[in-house]
Amino acid sequence: MEEELTIEILFPEFCNLYGDLSNMKYLQKCMPKANFHETAFDEEPLFVTEKVNLIYLGPMTESRQEKVIQKLLPYKQKIEERIEQNVVFLITGNALEIFSNYIEKEDGSKIEALGIFPIYAKRDMLHRHNSKFIGKWEEIEIVGFKSQFTFSYGDNTHGYFATVEKGIGIHQESQLEGIQKNNFIGTYVIGPILILNPYFTKKLMEKMGMKEPKLAFEEDVIKAYEYRLKELQNL
């Protein structure tokens, strides 16, 4: 079963900031027999022609955001189809903005994005937001960190990733974090989110089609998760 799973990592040569690729390395340790496919920027994404079980896109620099939008624009319809087909997407950090309507720069100019979700992002390169996060997703408490130059605005009430328990949602006044539609999950939470959140990772593996998923270093990642959750709750 596990050997039939395919995970596609999009553009790891530059969508790799903040240690986020460790999420895929961890999944590899959890699912050593699964097929991990790295799609380079000059290649056609695998999901266009083949069935994949997880599509992963990590944070990138601002100039790369514009290029990734142009790269994925011809595949917009295919992405929407895959979302409807319940393919799991894990989109972290500012990669989330690729799927929004547009990204507004400080000078008011706009970068048109894929326009799959009814949100838009505003950049402020002079002010970096850093915060700690606890949110609830399917009865699981998600812990993590945010570090970003942008906030997203618009309506995510019909499709958010988590309700905020500590920290902020898609912008400073929002209590709803990220975007979720079917199994598409987009979140501003960065870093090793799968390593930090063992229960979330297990659920994600189930959504990908794994029965009775087992985590790598399960006992230790759960201990670390519980320790951090308590730390963040006590802040």
Contact pattern from residue 141 through residue 180 relative to other proteins, giving x for each residue in contact according to CB under 8 A and a dash for the rest: ----x-x-x-------------------------------
Alpha-carbon distance of 166 to 175, in angstroms, equals 9
Site residues for other proteins, window 49-88 (CB under 8 A)?
A: 61-63, 67
Contact call for residue 214 and other proteins (CB under 8 A): no
Q: Could you tell me which stretch among 31-39, 114-122, 127-135, 176-184 binds other proteins (CB under 8 A)?
A: 127-135
- How far apart, in whole angstroms, are the C-alpha atoms of residue 65 and residue 71? 10
Q: Cβ 26 to other proteins, closest distance in Å?
A: 7
Q: What single string gives the DSSP state of each residue in 4-67?
A: G-EEEEE-TTTS-GGGTTHHHHHHHHH-TTSEEEEEPTTS--GGGTS--SEEEE----HHHHHH
Which residues ranging from 85 to 124 are in contact with other proteins (CB under 8 A)? none
Q: How many CB atoms lie within 10 A of CB 60?
A: 22
Radius of gyration of the chain (CA): 17
Q: Is 17 in the site for other proteins (CB under 8 A)?
A: yes
Q: Least separation, in Å, of the C-beta of 153 and other proteins? A: 21
Contact between 218 and other proteins by CB under 8 A: the answer reads: no
Count of chain residues binding other proteins (CB under 8 A) = 42
Q: DSSP for 191-231, please give it.
A: SSHHHH-HHHHHHHHHHTT-SS---TTHHHHHHHHHHHHHH
Residues forming contacts to other proteins in the complex (CB under 8 A) are: 13-14, 16-22, 25-26, 29, 40-42, 61-63, 67, 125-126, 128, 130, 132, 145, 147, 149, 190-192, 195, 216-217, 220-221, 223-224, 227-228, 231-232, 235
